[in-house]
Chains A and B, each alone.
Chain A
């Protein structure tokens, strides 16, 4: 202590100058008189410079008391961060444009009242929980939506159950697995849209039952081919405006469990054709007749062709000879076709010998696009094909029959 001069009545006011007391200077800390629990008080150094204190410690809980703890942007590898544990076990910090929670040691848990809400596992999954039960996790191959162990839909889109685990994958019978699309609650129907622009259709109402699978126009069903290197089109929907609602079975249609390719119905077509008479000889003289009208229709179902035709004429040209044929069939007759067609109606005809006719039919010529106009069977005698001489100057011819194509 630096006091050296006393006075019996005590110290006079302002009689002790600062240089007689221990004190700090501009370059060190000040000293304060510290009570000493009944012993003599002493002057002690109190460090009030936290900026210069390289190891400040809290003696108790730090209360912000209406103020903030501000950490500026982190600089370097470890500055301006809240650090937990040793070194970089976990730290929280801010960069000028981003915010970080680094948990370099162990799993980062986000919990509430002891229940896990999320886990971020080092070198592993991110898991999300509902009521402490895991529902979602990332995996090396994608994501897994755990959902609930039932056939209830597990993924909702816009609040509606939309995609889930198939019914058959649930419970004891797990021999079938798959993905369920649409609502599973039996009281609510589902509509599944495939590439449809619902925004352009009056709020998405298609005027159906609400239980449709709606394909975009001109969309197709395909399957992989046998070599599994390309796709084969099975069905095509609504290819043109004029065929709205029609399904095109592009590669044919089969029924039942049949696997014989010969039984594929490959096409359907209908239209018109223009029949014409010709003879088996004297081909340069066409037309043989001057027609007042002629026309025909056809319907093809698979390999079967139905044809009908009608011809009326009023002038016969006498330059033809040979058997009478009808040409211009819409499809080539099968090379193996051997049959005869329907019975023609033929008026004003010169009936060939024999004059007593037991049957009158057309006869197909395999591998060609014509048929014989008439095959006449006599009563208890042979048969002959009509020739051009049977035709008179005017007349009518009508017939309908079916034939096969290759």
Chain B
């Protein structure tokens, strides 16, 4: 009997006008090659964040939220493709508007 564990990025979705990238990460355990459990972890990626001067700091796409795991190239490539200058500009405007409307 052989138990194996593997990670599959089985769903990568682009959502909304700000092109949030929702990533579903599946942990798959197989027994003798047959899947016995599958559990999910999700995280989402934004274009970037504002600095103190309200400049948009691009998402570095370095680590997943756990701060340890590298974001896979497949996800990075999607982000870099869809996060155009127009998307970045819209997201920056959204963040500034939210910031000004919340005190």
User: Is A153 in contact with chain B by the CB < 8 A criterion?
Assistant: no
CB within 8 A of B22: which of A242, A276, A332? A332
User: Is B44 in contact with chain A by the CB < 8 A criterion?
Assistant: yes
Q: Is there an interface contact between B65 and A367, defined as CB atoms closer than 8 Å? A: no
CB within 8 A of A335: which of B17, B52, B64? B17
CB within 8 A of B17: which of A281, A367, A384, A405? A367
User: Is A230 in contact with chain B by the CB < 8 A criterion?
Assistant: no
Known contacts A281-B99, A323-B102: does B51 contact A330 (CB below 8 Å)?
Answer: no
B2 to chain A, nearest CB (A): 15
- The size bracket of the interface on B is 35 or more
Count chain B CB atoms within 10 A of each CB in A287, A328, A385 and give the residue with the most.
Answer: A328
Known contacts A281-B50, A365-B98: does B15 contact A269 (CB below 8 Å)?
Answer: no
How many contacting A-B pairs (Cβ < 8 A)? 105
A345 to chain B, nearest CB (A): 21
A115 to chain B, nearest CB (A): 61
User: Is A263 in contact with chain B by the CB < 8 A criterion?
Assistant: no
Known contacts A280-B50, A369-B44, A385-B103: does B20 contact A242 (CB below 8 Å)?
Answer: no
Q: Give chain A's interface residues, CB within 8 Å of chain B.
A: 240-242, 269-276, 278, 280-284, 287, 298, 321-323, 327-332, 335, 363, 365, 367-370, 372, 384-385, 405-406
- Would you mind naming 21 contact pairs between A and B with Cβ atoms under 8 Å apart? A241-B35, A242-B38, A269-B40, A281-B52, A281-B99, A282-B50, A282-B52, A283-B51, A284-B49, A284-B51, A322-B50, A323-B102, A327-B46, A330-B22, A331-B15, A331-B22, A367-B17, A368-B98, A369-B44, A405-B15, A406-B16
Known: A280-B95, A406-B16. 12 other contacts (CB 8 A): A271-B40, A272-B40, A273-B43, A274-B41, A275-B65, A322-B99, A329-B44, A330-B43, A332-B15, A363-B102, A367-B18, A368-B98
